[in-house]
A = this chain, B = another copy of it.
Amino acid sequence: MFARRIDRLTSSLVRDILAAATRPDMISFAGGLPAEEALYQPTLNDGKLPDIWQYGQTEGEPRLRELVAQHARALGIDCTAAQVLIVNGSQQGIDLVSKLFIDEGTPLLTEAPAYLAALQSFRLFGAELHSFAVDADGAQLDQLKAQLVPQRCVYLTPTFQNPSGYCYSDAERNAVAGAVDAADAILFEDDPYRDLAYDGPAPAPIAGRLQRARWIYQGSFSKTLAPGLRLGYLIVHPDFITPLTRLKQAADLHSNRLSQALVADCLERGALATHVQSVLPLYLARRDAMAAALQQHLAEYAEWALPKGGLFFWLRLKQRVDTRQLLQAGLDAGIAIMPGDAFFAGTPQQSCLRLNFSHANPALIETGVQRLAGLLAQANRLAA
């Protein structure tokens, strides 16, 4: 009865965990939720809603597209508003790009680990996933280069990646751009965490460093302003804007105009930068609180790098642990974590956990990490 893709539509761990993580007594390190205190609350001119009730343009509101293009040009991406497609958050961008490139069996290259919901979307459309490691030693560029193929898409989250937190250096970005250009591959760069930088700005996007290869650059307002707005954008090589716009039209005609108007107002007033600046101290404090708690309670069980941005610590466990069982034990103990294996296209070499540090306050972070240490101690005893 169902299409074949439904067999590939595995139960979404994220969704189930987010459901469990809403229990009031739960300390959640599981989701990628911004702090409640960090959510942008748009202000209305004269207390009135903007006049956006008629059908709008598929590509997005002209004013917002122009502002997004300006923002991207400041990051070194040579583009005009005509290359911008406004979407309902990054997830829709991934859906549309999946539709653009993926048939059943289409090879696609990702990082290992990579953003879970992107892997799910690529799989749903039937992609054959290949990957190269992004680990404690950085991005394994030899693995990347060996797998680049002309006109084949490579999906990267080079800036404060979800889940690993890794940020490609300037040199790594140039190397990736050179390799993608040389192979005439297609770059899909997903960049939702760029503005959440705690130790200075991240190097400029890879998309702007390409000389020849075609590219798609994705940004989001979910992490910087508010996820409830459901707004993100694709900026794309001119070859891609027409088919992507038609795919967007077939998907839902256009994005919500109310959110687009509110975000355009925000950008126009320069309030995005102001808001992000106001949020960074909160996230920095939480990151450092988690770093301290991990150092105190978890050094025995795991290794990690301090993330310079984004929302996550990525823990590589020193012993192999069934992280799905650990998740369940955690939920029973009032602590929600994210098992690492879901972030791999293949089988990970090491047991990993992703811990979000933005949603819980420092006191809860300390308590939660303590609980997690107890669970890991128990898991290691059982494994021994």
Chain A residues within 8 Å of B, Cβ to Cβ:
1-6, 9, 11-12, 14-15, 18, 31, 33-34, 36, 39-42, 44, 47-49, 52-56, 58, 87-89, 91-92, 95, 99-103, 106, 117, 120-121, 124-125, 151, 186, 222, 226-230, 243, 246-247, 249-259, 262
A3 to B99, CA, bound (A): 7
B9 touching A227, Cβ below 8 Å: no
Closest B residue to A59 by CB, please name it: B15
Inter-subunit contact B250/A101 (CB<8 Å):
no
A2, A9, A53, most chain B CB atoms within 10 A: A53
A53→B91 contact, CB < 8 A: no
Contact between B252 and A228, CB atoms less than 8 A apart: no
Contact across chains for A3 and B103 when beta carbons are under 8 A apart: yes
Minimum CB–CB distance for A18 against chain B, Å: 7
* A258 in contact with B229 given A18-B55, A39-B53, A106-B3 (CB within 8 Å): yes
Interchain CB contact (< 8 A) of A259 among B87, B100, B106, B258: B258
Contacts A4-B103, A88-B252, A259-B256 known; A228 to B15 CB distance under 8 Å?
Answer: no
Chain B residue contacts of A249, Cβ below 8 A? 12, 14-15, 91
Known A-B contacts A2-B101, A100-B6, A124-B250; the reply to A53 vs B228 at CB < 8 A is yes
The quantity of this chain's copies bound in the complex is 2
Taking a contact as CB atoms under 8 Å apart, the answer to whether B250 and A95 are in contact is yes
Report B-chain residues with C-beta under 8 Å of the C-beta of A40.
53
A sample of 19 cross-chain residue pairs with beta-carbon separation below 8 angstroms, ordered by A number, consists of A1-B101, A1-B151, A3-B99, A5-B99, A6-B100, A9-B246, A12-B249, A12-B250, A15-B249, A18-B55, A41-B53, A53-B226, A54-B227, A88-B255, A91-B250, A227-B253, A230-B254, A230-B257, A256-B259
* Chain B residues within an 8 Å CB radius of A87: 252
B228 touches A56 (CB 8 A): yes
Residues of the B chain whose Cβ atoms lie less than 8 Å from the Cβ of A6 = 100, 243
- Bound together, the chains give a CA A42 to CA B39 distance in angstroms of 23
Which residues of chain B are near A151, meaning CB under 8 Å?
1
Q: Which residues of B contact A99 (CB under 8 A)?
A: 3, 5
Q: Are A117 and B250 in contact (CB under 8 A)?
A: yes
Contact B101 A3 (CB under 8 A): yes
The reply to whether A102 and B230 form a contact with Cβ atoms under 8 Å apart is: no
Which of A39, A88, A186: most chain B CB closer than 10 A?
A88
